[in-house]
Amino acid sequence: MAEINWNNIYKSYLDQYKDPFKAVEYTVFGRLTGSKKIPTTYTQDQWYEYEAPDYWKAIKSPVNPDDPLRETTIKIKNAKSPSDVFAIANSAPSSAIGVGKLFREYADYRDYLMGLYTQKVQAEKKASSTSSNWWKQYGLPDPSKRFDSLKTYAEAVKSGSKPAKPTNIYSPAFDYLTTETTKYKAQLEKKGIKGADLAARVADFSVGLAGALDKKMTSAGFTPFLIAAQQRIKARG
């Protein structure tokens, strides 16, 4: 079987969408899943299936006439508190609980239902505390997030505000900017340029280089998502 050329696939997405960020996202999705269509957000079922698999299976499995607890178990989806869980468990037909049955005692069945309920609650808490980013199941950040602009940082330096190093920045690009600006300053100093003239030239150089780096990263769809995806793909082998 011929090896897939992911560079060509990326280029085809880029030609199709004219958006390097979307091209990166679709290419990464293909590498991780083998599919071409990305769900932009989880449906409720998708979220439960991933975050609460036992709960999801319990409420979605087909009705089984041989399971006398099926109709009782499915009620767990309406439980709002542990007391609801206990009430549901206690409503189970007595003929379904006992020696030789799946659950020997009502306490065993309550424990089972409480486990399902706990999965459900934890999944819902996680969904409400984070954005419904489909990529979370792969441990990847939101593809729409971008690195901070190097040019904005360089312009702040030029203005004399002495900004701290941005935290959401691509460090190799920032280090390159710093190194090249330092080299340029040294070259000017060797020529005898100093004072305000030196500072102005160095600042202009830094802003220009930072803008070029920003542009290069944008044209390549370079984001925290891409860095994380590359690490994920490399770890998978």
Q: Which residue has the higher pLDDT, 189 or 66?
A: 189
Say which range, 24-38, 46-60, 113-127, 190-204, has the weakest mean pLDDT: 24-38
Q: State the amino acid at position 109 in one-letter form.
A: Y
Contacts of 148 (CB under 8 A, 6+ apart): 166, 167, 168, 169
Q: How confident is the model at residue 162 (pLDDT cuts 50, 70, 90)?
A: confident
Q: How confident is the model at residue 1 (pLDDT cuts 50, 70, 90)?
A: very low
CA dist., res. 17 & res. 47, Å (int)? 28
Mean pLDDT, all residues of the chain:
86
Residue 75 pLDDT = 92
Q: How confident is the model at residue 178 (pLDDT cuts 50, 70, 90)?
A: very high
- Tell me, what DSSP letter sits at residue 213? H
CA dist., res. 120 & res. 114, Å (int)? 10
Any bridge partners for residue 97, and if so which?
Answer: 103
Q: What count of other Cβ atoms lies within 10 Å of the Cβ of residue 5?
A: 9
For residues 31-47, average pLDDT = 70
Residues of the chain by 3-state class (helix, strand, coil), percent to 5: 65, 0, 30
Q: What count of other Cβ atoms lies within 10 Å of the Cβ of residue 27?
A: 22
Asked whether 115 and 76 are in contact (CB, 8 A), the reply is no
Q: Strand, coil or helix: what is 112?
A: helix
Residue 105 has pLDDT above 70, yes or no: yes
For residues 172-182, average pLDDT = 95
What global pTM score does this model have? 0.58
Residue 196 has pLDDT above 90, yes or no: yes
Any bridge partners for residue 103, and if so which?
Answer: 97
Domain boundaries, the chain: 6-41, 44-132, 150-221
Q: Strand, coil or helix: what is 80?
A: coil
Q: How confident is the model at residue 4 (pLDDT cuts 50, 70, 90)?
A: low
For residues 106-126, average pLDDT = 91
pLDDT over 90 for what percent of the chain?
43
- Tell me, what DSSP letter sits at residue 76? G
- Tell me, what DSSP letter sits at residue 222? -
